[in-house]
Amino acid sequence: MAMFKAQYAHRGPVPQDVIRAVPLELPPTAAGQALVAMLASPINPSNLLTLTGEYGVLPALPAIGGSEGVGRIAELGDGVSGLSVGQLVLLPRGSGTWVTHLLADASALVPLPEAADPLQLAMLTVNPPTASLMLSEFVPLAPGDWVIQNVANSGVGGYLMQLARRRGLRTVNLVRRESAVAATKAQGGDVVLVDGEDLAQRVREVTGGAEIRLGIDAVGGSATDRLAQCLSEGGTLVNYGMMSGEPCRVAPSSLIFRDIRLRGFWLVKWFREASRDAQRALYGELAQLVAGGVLHARVHATYPVQKIREAVAAANGGERDGKILVTGSAA
C-alpha cells in the first residue's frame, strides 16, 4: 500500500513552491491508536499563511500541511473501544492532514454521520465554528438585526450567511468582483454588494438606514475602515483575516466620535480557553447542520495528495468558485 504525505522543510513567499508530496512510512498501529485513511482535507487561508510563515502558530520543520479533514478507520490498535474499522471520523484538529494515511490517538477521533457528504464534513473543524462564534461572542443579536461582512463568498462568509439566516439575522455581504454576486446571493445573502467607494452610502440605501452593530472583516487595510463607516454608533468590528496583507485601518473619527470598537478573533485562542463541554456542544450542533445539508460550502476542485503543489497553487490563486480540497487514498 503506497502512502504519501505533503511535506515542507522551509517556508517562503510562494506557498506552492515550498511543499511537495513524498513517500510516507508509518510504524505499526500501537495500543490506543487508529490508522485512518484520509478522505478529504481542505486548504484554508491559515494553511497558506503557515506555508509562508505568516500564521500565528508555526509547527517545527519539517512539517506536514493541513489542519482538518475526515477519513475512514483502516485499523485499530489494542484496547480501542467504541470505534470500528470502516467508520467515518473527523481527524484531530491540527494533526497534519494532507496525507493518504495517519496514525491518531483513537480517543481524539470523532465519529461522523455516514449519510453525509465527506467533502462537506471535511470542512467542519475551522470555518463553521469561526462563523458561528463571530456571530455570538461579540454583540448580542436578536432576530431581525443586521450584520455586515466582507469577502462574503469565502468559506467563512458562506457559513456566516447560512447561520445568520437560520438565526433570523439579516446580512449585508460584500464581494470584490461583480461575477461573485449571484453565487453569494444563492448562498443566502440578503444583500450583496461589490466592495468599494461610497460603500456606507450604498449600505444605508439598501437597508433603509438600519442599525448595524456588528461587522466582520477578513481583509484589513482600507477595507476595514469602509466596514467601520457602515456601522452604527457603538458598533463592533471583528477582524479575523489579513487578505490584503495590510494592517487594519480605522479613521479616528469612527473611533472617537462614533465609539466603533475593533476586535480580533482567532479560533485557536477560543479553543485554548473554551471548556471541553463548550467545544463538544459547538461541534455537535454544527456537525448535525452539515450532515443535514443546512450548512454547506461550494467546492471548486479536489486534488490527490500526490498533486499537492497544483492544489496549493489553485487555492492561492485569485478567481475561483469554492474551496480546494486535498483527497487521500480512500476518496
Residue extents of the structural domains in the chain: 4-123+298-327, 127-268
Which of 55, 159, 240, 303 is an active site residue? 55
H/E stretch holding 257: helix 252-257
- Give per-residue pLDDT as tens, 67-87: 999 999 999 999 999 999 999
Work out the average pLDDT over 123-152.
96
Number of H helices, E strands in the chain: 11, 16
Distance CA 159, CA 162 (A): 5
For the chain, what percent of residues have pLDDT higher than 70? 99
Enumerate residues 6+ apart whose C-beta is below 8 A from 278.
none
- CATH superfamily name and code, 127-268: NAD(P)-binding Rossmann-like Domain (3.40.50.720)
Residue 55 annotated in active site: yes
| Banded model confidence at residue 160, pLDDT cuts 50, 70, 90 | very high
- Give per-residue pLDDT as tens, 229-280: 999 999 999 999 988 889 999 999 999 999 999 999 999 999 999 998 898 8
Enumerate residues 6+ apart whose C-beta is below 8 A from 157.
131, 149, 150, 151, 173, 184, 218
Q: Please check whether residue 255 is in contact with residue 231, taking contact to mean a CB–CB distance below 8 angstroms.
A: no
Residue 330 above 70 pLDDT? no
Residue 53 cell numbers, joined: 510563515
Topology agreement, domain 4-123+298-327 and domain 127-268 = no
- Give per-residue pLDDT as tens, 172-217: 999 999 989 998 999 889 999 999 999 999 999 999 999 999 999 9
Residue 34 above 80 pLDDT? yes
Longest Cα pair distance anywhere in the chain, in angstroms? Answer: 65
pLDDT in the model for residue 329: 62
Strand order in the sheet with 236-239: 191-194, 170-175, 146-149, 212-217, 236-239, 261-264
User: Of the candidates 194, 160, 199, 165, which has an alpha carbon nearest to the alpha carbon of residue 297?
Assistant: 160
Q: How many CA atoms lie less than 13 Å away from 7 in the CB half-sphere?
A: 14
pLDDT in the model for residue 204: 97
| Banded model confidence at residue 1, pLDDT cuts 50, 70, 90 | confident
Tell me if the pTM is above 0.75: yes
Distance CA 156, CA 219 (A): 13
pLDDT in the model for residue 233: 97
- Give per-residue pLDDT as tens, 42-76: 999 999 999 999 998 899 999 999 999 999 999 99
Computed over every residue of the chain, the mean pLDDT equals: 94
Residues 50-69 as b or e (16 or more Cβ within 10 Å = b)? bbeeebeeeeeeebbbbbbb
- CATH superfamily name and code, 4-123+298-327: Medium-chain alcohol dehydrogenases, catalytic domain (3.90.180.10)
- Give per-residue pLDDT as tens, 284-321: 899 899 988 899 999 999 999 999 999 999 999 877 77
pLDDT in the model for residue 27: 95
Work out the average pLDDT over 123-146.
96
CA angle 77, 109, 104 (to 5 degrees): 50
pLDDT in the model for residue 317: 86
DSSP letter assigned to residue 30: P
Q: Please check whether residue 311 is in contact with residue 303, taking contact to mean a CB–CB distance below 8 angstroms.
A: yes
